Structure 1
Amino acid sequence: MTVTSSFEPDAPSGASGDAAAARPTPWLSGVAIFVVVMTPLLAYLAPLGFAPLLALTGLLALPGLRLTRSAAPPLLILLVLALWAAVSTTWSPAVIDLAKLKGYGDIESLTALKLFLQLATYGAAVVALRGLSDAGARRAATVLAYGTVALAVVAALDSLSGAAIYQKLHEVTGEAIRPDLAMVKVSLSTYVMALLFWPAALILSRLSRGGLIWLLAAGLIVTSVICSSDACLVALAAGGLAWLLVYAFRQTGAKVLVGLVAAPFVLAPLAMLVGVETGFIAWLHKLAPASWDSRLNIWTFTADHVQNHPFRGWGLDASRAFGPAIPLHTHNAQLQLWLELGAIGAALGGVFFCWLAYGIARLSERSRTEAAMAAAALVSYLVIGGVSFGVWQEWWLALGALTLIACGLARAVAEPEWSDLDELTPLG
């Protein structure tokens, strides 16, 4: 996840604010359209491409970049986190000998360096696109919403056909792919849909296209079920609960959300250790399917090793140094932060996401539908990150930035004149 909260109601007010919102931003509008057009294409064809897409977006958006005071706190938190991660490489068992770096492939393995580059480029993309004119943001939001629906339809149809479409596309390029691998590739699109579902739903509801929201939901669920993307189904359910919490209780619900977001960053290792001691984890082992059973083993091993270096951690990328006990990463963002960067890293990560949640509490004072959307998107990202991906994966961090951008675009779409804003639900 990356820089600055698009959830905060910091848009200018008054005459000067209206003038700023109406000021044309043709370059930024073009960049935004480029991003939203590429999003469904990459989600289906090459999800790992979101990393270069967001990096390029940040570079292209630099001419329109205008830093604001609201961007400073999350920027600073992420910068300190990146600095601490870089310092931790001095004791990491996965440290790379700089003298052996020869080509781009070797340099690309330097996670600490990439964190700074991602913070600069992804962060620039998020901050700059917040400066879009209202008209430019509405156009980009409309394209994003319809593109996400199209993605859901194509992914669902392809999953039902056993990824026949994806295989055919590979044959056209002269690179055949096995059916099982093609299904895995199609399944990756569900993670993008799970994150964009809530901003897309708000956009479609404000465009009076409620039927397309159901089509989007059906496409996401069908693809997730067939491709066994359990994390996306859990994220959709958890996001729905977060939406209801904030929509129903507004600022009170958003404040509760801050605590819920903070809890895993504080309690993850302790919760696993208590689960082991009480026999709860052993009980879960009997019920869990193979993939989740493996996760339980990884999380138990990770929590146990956090105790060795609870304050400083084992060092950046240390997850890769434990062999088959932790295949590449812990499949849980909070536990990976604790293991590699210790209490300091986990605290910084928690503070950043709590800052986003606090922005939702502020936003709920103005619009509970926008706040509910942001809450659902935030929880969806945390849930998927909590069971699926490594915390430093470039494409996953890029999707965090894209989610912030999408939420910002959704807020620019005005409600229908006949409907009161706070009575309009994403499924209305």
Structure 2
Amino acid sequence: MIRQASIVGGASERPTPWLGGVAIFVVVMTSLLAYLGPLGFAPLMALAGLLCLPGLRLTRAAAPPLLILVALALWAATSMIWSPAAIDPSTLKDYDDIEALTALKLLLQLASYGAAVVALRGLSERSAERAGMILAYGMTALALLVVIDAFAGATIYQQFRQLTGVPIRADLALVKVSTATYALALLIWPVTLILWRRNAPRAIWVLVAATLVASKIVSSDACLVALVLGSVAWLMVRYGGALGPRVLVGLVALPFVVAPLAVLVGVETGVIAWLHKLVPASWDARLNIWTFAADHIQTHPFRGWGLDASRTFGAAIPLHTHNAQLQLWLELGAIGAALAGVFFCWLAYAVVRTAERSRGEAAAAAGALVSYLVIGALSFGVWQEWWLALGALTLIACGLMRFGSRPDGENLVKLTPLG
């Protein structure tokens, strides 16, 4: 018998078999790609966006964050006018050349990833519950596999590569396995809530313990920091009363405002020099990159050096700054940093609205948001396709936890402003 329509996000629920099938495809592939090849998140989300087009219904709530991202992408494209990384259009001859056009890719990713996120917010309750359950147990199995393979020195991953005819050294295999911990660090928050609502405490213990242990074994320091600070955000929102979620908005905004100044002050006061003596080589290199980036931001503080300019400074900045806020300031200036900051503050403010109705969902969303920002501030380039795709997947996962049994009587609520 067809379920009686219910109110979800202000609209009458309707069966969504097509979107439900897309959601199941996405969550199954998420667990597989996190282990086998995280770079596959980008084509996965691009395909998901195309598949979601028949069920896409733009809402008024989705407009503001999408418009912010459109403005950011257009400003990034405009900055190619003065970027030292600008490519002469006459040299574009084949697909590999076009692949180097970051500005074009940003616009295409926004269209496809955005379509997937917005469309899958419209899942029926039955479809969302099913997809959420598959994601939850899939990520739990992933965590267990990663921790086992980490203890085994990535021998399982090596055997897989051997079967595919592309062997890999043990040390490189362990690096590949470690990449799965980033997906775990982001998705652990909504997945834990889904499992709790399904009365699966053992699965929660396996997920949390395996994620922490695996991150430690494979030296995913950024994941460990993200899990710690994500837990602080979770506690602050879950038990911080009305003030906790509002404090989160300020904390999210702060790095986008003061990142370059904080590094320069650290240099002037000797804090950076003091840290150089304490941290291991990888973090020592980050301090050098951050210092160089902060110093060069002063040259073009308003407009920045231009999109992809980070790649043009040679050994001083290998590929990117390893800090999202500094990269935005360096490449897109105050305008780009402000636009990105407004977008993430919009998400943080959505946590405030969510907390008024569902503390559990708000806390989980806060943990995921902070974890994404922390990892982005320590590890990856802002424009890496798979990392942007994983962010979109995290938004989708947060949408899935809106559904399911609620032993605490929580109401349905929008977890992000994309609902």
Same fold, TM exceeding 0.5? yes
Matched residue type, 1:237: V
Distance 2:147 2:97 in 1: 38
How far 1:201 moved relative to its partner?
0.2
Residues 1:404 and 2:392 aligned together: no
Q: Tell me, what secondary structure is at the counterpart of 2:126?
A: helix
Matched residue type, 2:256: F
The runs of at least 4 aligned residues of structure 1 exceeding 6 Å deviation read none
Matched residue type, 1:262: A
Structure 2 equivalent of residue 316 of structure 1: 307
Superposed counterparts of 1:253-332, under 5 Å:
253-332=244-323
- The runs of 5 or more residues in structure 1 that have no matched partner are 1-13, 423-428
Cα pair 1:20 1:133 within 8 Å, conserved: no
Q: Tell me, what secondary structure is at the counterpart of 1:273?
A: helix
Superposed counterparts of 1:220-231, under 5 Å:
220-231=211-222
Cα pair 1:166 1:182 within 8 Å, conserved: yes
Q: Would you say how many aligned residue pairs link Structure 1 and Structure 2?
A: 407
Cα pair 2:175 2:218 within 8 Å, conserved: yes
Cα pair 2:83 2:308 within 8 Å, conserved: yes
Residues 1:211 and 2:206 aligned together: no
What are the Cα deviations for residues 38-58 of structure 1, in whole angstroms up to 9, with x where unaligned? 011000000000000001000
Structure 2 equivalent of residue 130 of structure 1: 121
2:371 to 380, 395, 403: 380
How far 1:250 moved relative to its partner?
3.8
Q: Tell me, what secondary structure is at the counterpart of 2:401?
A: helix
Matched residue type, 2:314: G
What are the Cα deviations for residues 360-396 of structure 1, in whole angstroms up to 9, with x where unaligned? 1001100011000000000000000000000000000
Matched residue type, 1:168: Q
Distance 2:339 2:78 in 1: 14
Distance 1:86 1:175 in 2: 37
Matched residue type, 1:232: C
CA 15–138 in structure 1, closer or farther in 2 if over 3 Å, else same: closer
Cα pair 1:92 1:316 within 8 Å, conserved: yes
Distance 1:281 1:376 in 2: 28
Structure 2 equivalent of residue 11 of structure 1: none
Q: Tell me, what secondary structure is at the counterpart of 2:242?
A: helix
CA 286–25 in structure 1, closer or farther in 2 if over 3 Å, else same: same
Residues 1:75 and 2:66 aligned together: yes
Cα pair 1:250 1:365 within 8 Å, conserved: no
Cα pair 2:6 2:12 within 8 Å, conserved: no
Structure 1 equivalent of residue 361 of structure 2: 370
What are the Cα deviations for residues 347-367 of structure 1, in whole angstroms up to 9, with x where unaligned? 000000000001110011000
Residues 1:198 and 2:195 aligned together: no
Cα pair 1:224 1:233 within 8 Å, conserved: yes
Structure 2 equivalent of residue 188 of structure 1: 179
CA 404–251 in structure 1, closer or farther in 2 if over 3 Å, else same: farther
Cα pair 2:23 2:131 within 8 Å, conserved: yes
Structure 2 equivalent of residue 3 of structure 1: none
How far 1:20 moved relative to its partner?
4.9
Distance 2:373 2:239 in 1: 21
Distance 1:16 1:61 in 2: 22
Identity of aligned residues (%): 70
CA 279–394 in structure 1, closer or farther in 2 if over 3 Å, else same: same
Cα pair 1:337 1:346 within 8 Å, conserved: yes
How far 1:133 moved relative to its partner?
0.2
State the TM-score, normalized to the length of structure 1.
Answer: 0.93
Structure 1 equivalent of residue 330 of structure 2: 339
How far 1:213 moved relative to its partner?
1.0
How far 1:414 moved relative to its partner?
2.2
What are the Cα deviations for residues 102-151 of structure 1, in whole angstroms up to 9, with x where unaligned? 11111000000000000000000000000000000000000000000000
Q: Tell me, what secondary structure is at the counterpart of 1:387?
A: coil
What are the Cα deviations for residues 218-261 of structure 1, in whole angstroms up to 9, with x where unaligned? 11111111111000000000000000000012432111000000
Distance 1:401 1:166 in 2: 26
2:103 to 108, 112, 125: 112
Distance 2:286 2:338 in 1: 23
What are the Cα deviations for residues 8-60 of structure 1, in whole angstroms up to 9, with x where unaligned? xxxxxx96659955411000000000000001100000000000000100000
Cα pair 1:21 1:134 within 8 Å, conserved: no
1:159 to 131, 140, 150: 150
Matched residue type, 1:146: Y
Give the root-mean-square deviation of aligned CA atoms: 1.4
Cα pair 2:249 2:345 within 8 Å, conserved: yes
Superposed counterparts of 1:41-120, under 5 Å:
41-120=32-111
Distance 1:117 1:252 in 2: 38
Structure 2 equivalent of residue 426 of structure 1: none
